[in-house]
Amino acid sequence: MAPAGIQAAADAPELVYCVHVFCCTNERPTTHWRGSCAHKGSRALCDYMCRLGMVLGARRIRINHAGCLNVCEHGPVMVIYPEGIWYKYESQSDVAEILRSHVMGGVPVQRLMVAIDPATLHG
């Protein structure tokens, strides 16, 4: 069952995961001009979010490490589907709020959302 506020199309197959989180944990050389989310703490914060999800009993929710999501300038970033909402996070309290409110409660966290303009993507 999807969290409140999330609905699939009537003819869509049942979702394996009701919510799927992708946290960029890409690491580049420190001298790279785009930087990388791993150098801003994303790996530890993604791991923390996974552990907290298990502690809170999250079911049919998947939190994955991901490669570069191509919005490095905003990092560290995550994107959550099925809504396709992007977040920038910096602390354990940020990812805990995203997990509790959006992932488990279906209520996006406005203060951490990032608007990505597809026209500005590299490549």
Three-class SS state of 5: coil
Please identify, using beta-carbon distances, which residue of 50 and 72 lies nearer to ligand FES: 72
In 3D, which of 20, 32, 93, 102 has the Cα closest to residue 68? Answer: 32
Cis before 82 (ω within 30)? yes
Is the Cβ of residue 22 or residue 53 nearer to ligand FES in the bound state? 22
Q: How far apart are CA 83 and CA 79, in angstroms?
A: 9
CB of 4 to ligand FES, least distance (A): 29
Return the number of the residue (49 or 71) whose C-beta is nearest ligand FES.
71
Please say whether the beta carbons of 98 and 49 come within 8 A.
Answer: yes
Site residues, ligand FES (CB under 6 A): 24, 26, 36-37, 68-72, 75, 77
CB of 123 to ligand FES, least distance (A): 11
Closest distance to ligand FES from the beta carbon of 36 (Å): 4
